Amino acid sequence: MFCLGPYETGIAGYKHVYFNSTINTFKMWTITVIGVIFLYESFKRLFALVLSRNLRFSMGFLFLSSIHSHYYAWWAHWNYWNDDFYSLWYHQVFFTVSESISSLLVIKSLDRRKHMSSFAIFMIANIAIFHIFASSWDQFIETVVQHQGHMHQVSTATFSGALFNCHS
């Protein structure tokens, strides 16, 4: 395989995925299989509730809106293991575990025939609020405002700041 630009420097057009017989490859494929099984079982439950007209639509919408965050978490873990890059590992594990807990509570609340506990609502809302604050802090305050990010993280913000701070 040839690469578009050097792998170690900057952002290339694409990156390689290496398949070696290592423990990391086993981890990558394990989370892939587990993720596909959970996705299948979740959608099976969702469609069964839709067909029986017992879906709590607010929780169904919340479930569907969380799919991208789970895909992102899967891809982040997959890339960390593929690249042996662990500086943000524990940060990502925390987000993945907490959003998985929230999603399990949402899936449990999909059936409108079952009582929805105030504890489940409280946990779902608190996890969401905490994620908003935590990601705002590390992805905006530290990266952009305090200029601790890399060039590809702050260049867009700097460019848009220059557009809005025009002096004539």
Question: 128-154: per-residue pLDDT in tens?
Answer: 999 888 877 777 776 666 666 666 555
Lowest mean pLDDT among 2-11, 53-62, 120-129: 2-11
Sign of torsion over alpha carbons 155, 158, 164, 168:
negative
What dihedral do alpha carbons 7, 8, 10, 12 form, nearest 10°?
Answer: 0
Cα–Cα dist 41/58, whole Å: 19
Cα–Cα dist 70/35, whole Å: 9
CA distances from 130 to 81, 101, 115, 134 (A): 26, 13, 25, 6
Q: Count of residues for the chain?
A: 168
Q: What is the pLDDT of residue 86?
A: 80
Q: What is the mean pLDDT of residues 15-42?
A: 85
